[in-house]
Amino acid sequence: MKKTIMCALLLCAAASAPALAEYPDKPIKLVVGFTAGGPTDITGRIAAQILTSSLGAQALVDNRPGASGAIGATQVANAAPDGYTLLVNVFADIVNPVADREPNNEILKRFAPVTMLAVAPNVLVVAANMPVNSPKELVEYARKNPEQVSFASAGLGTVSHLAGVIFASATGTKLVHVPYKGTAAAQTDLLGGRVSIMFDNLNSGLPNAAAGKVKALAITSPNRWSAAPNIPTMAEAGFPNADIMSVFGIVAPKGTPPAIIHKLSAVLLKGLQDPANVKVINAAGAEQGKMTVEQYEEYLKQDTARWKKLAADGVLQPNPK
């Protein structure tokens, strides 16, 4: 019996080896669920460049914006699990299924983790015409003017949305959420003073603040961030429960062969350490990922559990339909 099982395993290994050796033999598509030019798109293009230069087959970014990234995510979840269609996953892909009470759509039930590409905090910025210069002043203003302070986001379930939700919960303020179809559109209205505040990504929020177009009040990382050492954290500003991080990673459809998953992960991890890629990632206010397949899976598992607790506590509400 043991001999029969061993022979079967050897036959399976022999059958899969040529498939892995031939992979990839056609272009790889990296689906980004947001518009071009935003942080997800930038991160996805770094991954595409790494895969193209390392695997000998072209990797292309395919922007599929809409529904806070859910349109692109659904496309990848339904794709053939062969390693040729991948998702540049973001925070929303972790949180939205939890917020919407859709356990079958949880990220680890639909996707196989490959690796984390980058991680970054957001920066709380306010429109230049807002009469506040610190998070505490913002909270005081919002309490005196309930439902008069609007916060822009890149869409429902995105980190810029949930950062606002957590901030409002931690401070007891009533903010008006204004969702957009991507970061760029939200930033445009913030700069124009049509919305009050935003938890923006660093690569746009910090330059806009330096130019006097907005005011940067705090960073959402647990500790001071290297790209913005002079900006206090939310905890330092008096709100220790308002920290939150953006995550950008690569996942494949559930059922993708482990050999392909690990090959992609190894190539990406090596490429992410290239000084040129580190420079681009750091310029965006982020740090490059360093997680193996197993480590990224554990990260996604723990983060999903965190948001399930927040949903159970009533902080995370279902997205409006």
Print the domain residue range for 265.
27-119+246-312
Residue 189 · residue 195 · CB < 8 Å:
yes
Q: Please give the backbone phi and psi of residue 114, each rounded to the nearest 5 degrees, phi first.
A: -110, -65
Q: What is the mean pLDDT of residues 100-116?
A: 96
Residue pLDDT, tens place only, 178-194: 999 888 899 999 999 99
Identify whether residues 113 and 253 lie together within a single domain. Answer: yes
The full DSSP string for 147-164 is T-EEEEESSTTSHHHHHH
Which stretches of 122-257 are DSSP H helices?
A: 135-144, 159-171, 183-191, 202-210
Residue pLDDT, tens place only, 251-269: 999 999 999 999 999 999 9
pLDDT at 6: 52
Nearest-angstrom CA–CA distance, 215 and 129? 9
CA 168 to each of CA 227, 244, 315: distance values in angstroms, whole numbers, following the listed order: 26, 13, 10
Tell me whether residue 260 is in a domain: yes
Identify whether residues 141 and 282 lie together within a single domain. Answer: no
The helix (run of H) or strand (run of E) holding residue 13 is helix 2-22
pTM of the model: 0.80
Q: Please give the backbone phi and psi of residue 48, each rounded to the nearest 5 degrees, phi first.
A: -60, -40
Here the CATH number for the domain that contains residue 280 is 3.40.190.150
Residue pLDDT, tens place only, 269-310: 999 999 999 998 988 788 999 999 999 999 999 999 989 998
Domain count along the chain:
2
Phi-psi region of 68 (alpha: psi -120 to 50; beta: other; left: phi over 0): left
Identify whether residues 162 and 191 lie together within a single domain. Answer: yes
Tell me whether residue 285 is in a domain: yes
Identify whether residues 102 and 144 lie together within a single domain. Answer: no
Identify whether residues 152 and 93 lie together within a single domain. Answer: no
Using the predicted structure, report yes or no on whether residue 11 has a pLDDT greater than 70: no
Identify whether residues 98 and 140 lie together within a single domain. Answer: no
